A and B are shown apart, each in its own frame.
Chain A
Amino acid sequence: MADDNRGLVAAGAVLVWRRQRVLWWVFAVNLVLGLLGAAGARSELGRVLQHSLAGNGLTRGFDFGMFLELVNQPTVNLMRSAGGSFLFAALFPLFMIFVTGGILAVYREDRRFTAGDFFAASGAFFWRFVRVALFSLIPFGILGFGLWAVNKLSDYIGDRSVSAQTGFYILLPSAILVTLLVLFVRLWFDIAQVRAVVQDEHVMWRNLWKALGITRRNVMTLFRVYLCISGVAWVTLAAGLFLWAKLPPTATPVTFLLLEFIILMQLLTRLWQRASAVTWYKRHAAVFPSDAVDYTIAAPAELVESVAASPDQVPASRSDTPAPSAEPEAPAEQ
């Protein structure tokens, strides 16, 4: 089984590349939301700067004093635009919850979906993934509280230490640990979503429980994959920001392209993680034939479980497909 884990990262990348339409659509939605989120600020700025030379310092460099002046001038409601921007930003996770079913179905079947197929799959899993997202608030909330507690603790200890860095040295490893735990939770819930799609699981608390078992048993393999891809995301983010800082201040179009490339890479790596998770799951679990799951009609949970439990119930027309099993086999950890 160990061999099955080889090239997971690469296989995930290839899958994202082959199904890149998914990436471009997600990026397009993200960009549209970003543009809409910035529209208020753009409009306000345009109103006051369109025929004023006051913005020259912002064009030639980034005159932070002028920016603060724009923020502070009562005639410019720049900060009011920030609330609207956040609302548009908050729409994106809702969109992602909606399309995750479709994305995972595309990766599972590794074929081009029509828009109808895609949205049918998205819709079929939407409410299930809403429940998954709500369940995820529990571990993320616990980790958030943990980080808050560690922060308080580091403040407390740091406040009593002669060295100014003590608090930081406590907080840094704690923050790294929490980040890794957050990554683990993300992996666990991703596996749950993959499992829900692959096995058409309906009962999400049970799905999460089983996904936790799968993730726990295969944590080394899966976590390594996720960490590796996250590393790519972090490196591209850091490199992008480094390049951005080196760009001439007047190169706004190039800056726009670079910043969008950064966003694209962040979204790409996220889809890469999902594609890798699907690939891993497919390698270790017998998969339903693609047409065995009618995404448009929610199948009763009992049927799914009984199908999963009995190879005899696999449709005859797809008898060449390996008999599905309820869970992926646990590969030997390396």
Chain B
Amino acid sequence: MRRKRLVFAVVAILLSTLAARGQSTFAPKVSGPLSQRVVAYQIDARYEPDKHTVDATETLTYHNLTGRALDRFPFHLYLNAFQPKSTWVHVAHRDGSFRTSSFEEGWDPKHSGSNDVTSLEAVGMGDLTKQMKFVSPDDGNPDDKTVMEVALPRSVEPGQDVTFKIKFRATFPEVVARTGYKRAFLLAGQWFPKVGVWWNGAWNCHQFHAMTEFFADFGTYDVKITLPKNYVIGATGVQTSDTDNGNGTKTVAFHAEDVHDFAWTADPNFKVLDSEFDGSVGAVKVRLLTYDSHKSSWQRYLDVMQGTMKHFDDWYGPYPYAQITVVDPPHGAFEAGGMEYPTFITGATVWWAPKGQKELPEVATEHEFGHQYWYGMVATNEFENAWLDEGINSYTEVKVMASLYGKNTDVLNWLGAQMGDAAEQRLSYIRVAETDSLSQPSYQDMSIGSYGGVTYGKTATMLLTLEAVVGEQTLQKALRTYFMKYRFTHPTQEDFLRTVNEVAGQDLGWYWQQAVYGTQVLDYKVRRADSTRVDWPNKDAPEEKKGETLYQTDVLLQRLGDFIFPVVAEVKFDDGETIRETWDGQDRWKRFVYRKKAKVLSVEIDPDHQLTMDRDYLNNSIATEPQRGATQKIATYWTFLTQFCAQMLGWLT
């Protein structure tokens, strides 16, 4: 009987291995490898839902393609960020909150998490457990244990491999900062020891920071997860087997290639909705893991995924993987929402979300899918140049959302109120316009708030403004070129800027110096616009008559900010004539003078509303006739709300 079971198990393993090899991780018309595969991870993990822990054995093979001998290796142990004295907690507490978690009432032990490495061996070099030490390369915090380094007894020569065997336990916090559990739900992100990246001649392995995200090498992942058999599981890559262990558990295996991280999720209450996107490189499976109580959002998720994938395929390049898994976190697990991992994203919704607001789930889902391109495939260093991922992705989010749901209605179109994604990005930027440049290391930004406004808002706004110089289509072409050229290569910001210059056919250094490397603020103002009778000194001049009286019109434009940008001003006269003037914006002011038998009606800088970087829209125009509409409308609502509040209070007396 025992022998029969053994034979059965061997056959099952063989079959699952064959199945794994037969299951491509790529779309039908794609064949790998797509990247320089530096790492190969094999992880065998067992999840204990009651304890929220994973005990695992990790085998990591590192291919030394650095061109030099390596004798020490740093590893990320990011679950250790969830300890009260870590750098992440310090910054989150300093700035009041992180994402949706507040630390104003002190540290809550339920947010504790850890990565405990119980043994580490380098094959052929022996047990190195005692060689492990925590390092804090960014801030020297001795209590931060998010980076561990191990020194090898001998170097790994260029072109050679080294294999690490690591045993570890991951303890998850209640969901916080993109990872953790909520009830039976688990989002396992940053859960395993992950080696740093050899980049620009040095190890690049930053601590876990509150502001920035991640950076890792491309490679392959073979991960087996054992968990109770009633759980539904989803992960990076494709599922290759699902084995019932006969003891109330099952082991599910996943395989992924040309990705740089691996995340997974599990919940017995997940509902699985599979659909397909037919892209330029063949069909891609879109797997949505959601809940019955989010039924009102199911179609919205599927629709925005179809629309987004189509636009990215058309505009920027193909999605080469066989599957994208979209996780809809349960209520109360917002911290798990809006996150990207390779071929695996989390959206966010609420069951009562009106269709007129598109933040949830549409914007969140679109944004996270966009990361598959900029974070997942281009894979820039998010610690140091987060804007190359988050920012460019925010720009493409604006473009895709506008195309799908309307330029001025793609965030809000409800009860008569409208708002566009571009306006939202701009608002987040203008609040922190002078704080941080895009080019500085993102984890060193002034605050979590300034990081958000600059990295997301400023980049999107700066690229939208750039459209005024190079044109929308050129910028789209530049992004496509950048994506196709640099995918799977970890490019730098200079690579991006150079690509745009090349595609645009012009040196945009003047723009990059201000918008990327500087903190200059763009603010142009119409200072004066008025018409005076030319014959004003003549006391006997005839009565003013439209179309006959000659006027001198003075228009004065002013540059208030230190950002220099060419602007267009539109001057309208009461005879119907409209003149567009251009000004290079170099000097502090510019005057335009007209002699016409017409009076000026209005002057507006940036009449096409392209300069979204302009911090103050209110001073961009002057109308000679009073413009009372907006004031009256808001005052009407304001009056009503005051009255309503008054009568409610009066009701109580």
> Which residues of chain A have a CB within 8 Å of any CB of chain B?
30-31, 33-35, 37-38, 41-42, 45-46, 48-59, 61-70, 72-73, 75-76, 81, 85-86, 88-93, 95-97, 100, 129, 133, 136, 140, 158-160, 162-165, 168, 186, 244-245, 247, 249-250, 252, 255-256, 259-260, 262-263, 266-267, 270
Given A63-B419, A72-B431, A93-B653, CB of A50 within 8 Å of CB of B647: no
Q: Which residues of B contact A81 (CB under 8 A)?
A: 638
* Cβ of B604 under 8 Å from chain A: yes
User: B646 and A42: CB pair below 8 A?
Assistant: no
Given A52-B623, A58-B629, A164-B350, CB of A64 within 8 Å of CB of B417: yes
Which of B210-218, B393-401, B612-620 is found at the contact surface with chain A? B612-620
In order of increasing CB-CB distance, the 9 nearest A-B pairs are A55-B630, A65-B423, A59-B629, A37-B642, A92-B646, A34-B643, A58-B630, A164-B331, A38-B638
Q: List 24 A-B contacts (CB under 8 A).
A: A31-B643, A34-B646, A41-B638, A42-B634, A48-B618, A49-B618, A49-B627, A52-B619, A53-B620, A55-B631, A58-B634, A62-B633, A66-B423, A67-B417, A68-B427, A70-B634, A90-B646, A136-B653, A162-B183, A162-B291, A164-B331, A255-B636, A259-B636, A270-B650
User: A250 and B634: CB pair below 8 A?
Assistant: no
User: B632 and A92: CB pair below 8 A?
Assistant: no
Identity of the chain B residue whose Cβ is nearest the Cβ of A58 in the assembled complex = B630
* Cβ of B574 under 8 Å from chain A: no
Complex-state Cα separation, A33 to B634, whole angstroms: 16
Q: Which residues of A contact B653 (CB under 8 A)?
A: 93, 96-97, 100, 129, 133, 136
User: A140 and B652: CB pair below 8 A?
Assistant: yes
Q: Nearest-CB distance from B457 to chain A (Å)?
A: 12
Which of B155-163, B310-318, B408-416, B509-517 is found at the contact surface with chain A? B408-416
User: A88 and B646: CB pair below 8 A?
Assistant: yes
Complex-state Cα separation, A58 to B293, whole angstroms: 37
* Cβ of B275 under 8 Å from chain A: no
What count of chain B residues pass the 8 Å CB interface test? Answer: 65
User: B626 and A55: CB pair below 8 A?
Assistant: no
Given A53-B623, A92-B649, CB of A33 within 8 Å of CB of B630: no
User: A67 and B634: CB pair below 8 A?
Assistant: yes
Complex-state Cα separation, A252 to B628, whole angstroms: 11
Q: Which of B294, B632, B647 touches A267 (beta carbons < 8 Å)?
A: B647
Complex-state Cα separation, A133 to B618, whole angstroms: 46
User: A38 and B427: CB pair below 8 A?
Assistant: no
Complex-state Cα separation, A50 to B619, whole angstroms: 11
Complex-state Cα separation, A61 to B412, whole angstroms: 12
User: A252 and B415: CB pair below 8 A?
Assistant: no
Complex-state Cα separation, A259 to B351, whole angstroms: 30
**Chain A CB within 10 Å — which of B269, B351, B420, B627 has the most?**
B627
Complex-state Cα separation, A61 to B634, whole angstroms: 11
* Cβ of B635 under 8 Å from chain A: yes
User: A65 and B618: CB pair below 8 A?
Assistant: no
Q: Which residues of B contact A86 (CB under 8 A)?
A: 642, 645
* Cβ of B473 under 8 Å from chain A: no
Complex-state Cα separation, A133 to B652, whole angstroms: 8
User: A55 and B629: CB pair below 8 A?
Assistant: yes
Q: Which residues of A contact B419 (CB under 8 A)?
A: 63-65, 68
Q: Nearest-CB distance from B78 to chain A (Å)?
A: 26
Complex-state Cα separation, A51 to B525, whole angstroms: 13
Identity of the chain B residue whose Cβ is nearest the Cβ of A67 in the assembled complex = B634
Which residues 305-325 of B sit at the A interface, judged by CB distance below 8 A?
A: none
Extra inter-chain contacts (11) besides given A37-B642, A53-B620, CB under 8 Å: A38-B635, A45-B635, A53-B621, A59-B630, A61-B408, A73-B618, A81-B638, A86-B645, A164-B293, A260-B640, A270-B651
* Cβ of B622 under 8 Å from chain A: yes
Given A63-B418, A90-B649, A267-B647, CB of A85 within 8 Å of CB of B626: no
Q: Contact string, B253-279, partner A, CB cutoff 8 A, digits 1/0?
A: 000000000000000010000000000
Given A50-B626, A59-B629, CB of A37 within 8 Å of CB of B638: yes
Complex-state Cα separation, A288 to B602, whole angstroms: 70
User: B417 and A51: CB pair below 8 A?
Assistant: no
Given A51-B627, A65-B423, A255-B633, CB of A33 within 8 Å of CB of B643: yes
Q: Which residues of A contact B293 (CB under 8 A)?
A: 162-165
* Cβ of B122 under 8 Å from chain A: no
User: A41 and B634: CB pair below 8 A?
Assistant: yes
Q: Nearest-CB distance from A63 to chain B (Å)?
A: 6
Given A34-B639, A62-B417, A160-B183, CB of A51 within 8 Å of CB of B649: no
Q: Which residues of B contact A45 (CB under 8 A)?
A: 630-631, 634-635
Identity of the chain A residue whose Cβ is nearest the Cβ of B352 in the assembled complex = A168
* Cβ of B586 under 8 Å from chain A: no
Identity of the chain A residue whose Cβ is nearest the Cβ of B616 in the assembled complex = A73
User: A266 and B647: CB pair below 8 A?
Assistant: yes
Q: Nearest-CB distance from A304 to chain B (Å)?
A: 23
Identity of the chain B residue whose Cβ is nearest the Cβ of A257 in the assembled complex = B636
Q: Which residues of A contact B408 (CB under 8 A)?
A: 57, 61, 63
Complex-state Cα separation, A42 to B634, whole angstroms: 8
Q: Contact string, B419-451, partner A, CB cutoff 8 A, digits 1/0?
A: 110011011001100000000000000000000
User: B649 and A42: CB pair below 8 A?
Assistant: no
Given A58-B629, A65-B419, A162-B291, CB of A52 within 8 Å of CB of B642: no
User: B652 and A266: CB pair below 8 A?
Assistant: no
User: A42 and B628: CB pair below 8 A?
Assistant: no
Q: Which residues of A contact B645 (CB under 8 A)?
A: 85-86, 89
Q: Which residues of B contact A46 (CB under 8 A)?
A: 628, 631
Q: Which residues of A contact B330 (CB under 8 A)?
A: 162, 164
Identity of the chain B residue whose Cβ is nearest the Cβ of A61 in the assembled complex = B418
* Cβ of B644 under 8 Å from chain A: yes
Q: Which of A49, A59, A159, A263 touches B644 (beta carbons < 8 Å)?
A: A263
* Cβ of B624 under 8 Å from chain A: yes
Given A34-B642, A163-B293, A252-B636, CB of A64 within 8 Å of CB of B412: yes
Complex-state Cα separation, A75 to B37, whole angstroms: 54
Q: Nearest-CB distance from A133 to chain B (Å)?
A: 5
Complex-state Cα separation, A88 to B417, whole angstroms: 27
Q: Nearest-CB distance from A33 to chain B (Å)?
A: 6
Complex-state Cα separation, A38 to B642, whole angstroms: 7
Complex-state Cα separation, A5 to B634, whole angstroms: 46
Complex-state Cα separation, A92 to B184, whole angstroms: 51
Q: Which of B420, B629, B640 touches A34 (beta carbons < 8 Å)?
A: B640
Identity of the chain A residue whose Cβ is nearest the Cβ of B424 in the assembled complex = A65
* Cβ of B641 under 8 Å from chain A: yes
Complex-state Cα separation, A263 to B651, whole angstroms: 12
* Cβ of B332 under 8 Å from chain A: yes
Q: Nearest-CB distance from A57 to chain B (Å)?
A: 8
Q: Which residues of A contact B632 (CB under 8 A)?
A: 252
Q: Which residues of A contact B638 (CB under 8 A)?
A: 37-38, 41-42, 81, 85
Complex-state Cα separation, A72 to B412, whole angstroms: 18
User: A164 and B618: CB pair below 8 A?
Assistant: no
User: A263 and B640: CB pair below 8 A?
Assistant: yes
Given A45-B634, A50-B628, A56-B630, CB of A162 within 8 Å of CB of B420: no
Q: Nearest-CB distance from B298 to chain A (Å)?
A: 13
Q: Which residues of B contact A34 (CB under 8 A)?
A: 639-640, 642-643, 646
Complex-state Cα separation, A163 to B184, whole angstroms: 12
**Chain A CB within 10 Å — which of B291, B618, B623, B642 has the most?**
B642
Complex-state Cα separation, A42 to B640, whole angstroms: 13
Identity of the chain B residue whose Cβ is nearest the Cβ of A162 in the assembled complex = B269
Q: Contact string, B219-255, partner A, CB cutoff 8 A, digits 1/0?
A: 0000000000000000000000000000000000000
Given A53-B604, A92-B649, A270-B647, CB of A42 within 8 Å of CB of B635: yes
Q: Which residues of A contact B633 (CB under 8 A)?
A: 58-59, 62, 249, 252, 255
Q: Nearest-CB distance from B632 to chain A (Å)?
A: 5
Q: Nearest-CB distance from B381 to chain A (Å)?
A: 32
Identity of the chain A residue whose Cβ is nearest the Cβ of B641 in the assembled complex = A85
Q: Nearest-CB distance from A292 to chain B (Å)?
A: 27
Complex-state Cα separation, A31 to B184, whole angstroms: 54
Complex-state Cα separation, A158 to B336, whole angstroms: 18
Complex-state Cα separation, A67 to B630, whole angstroms: 10
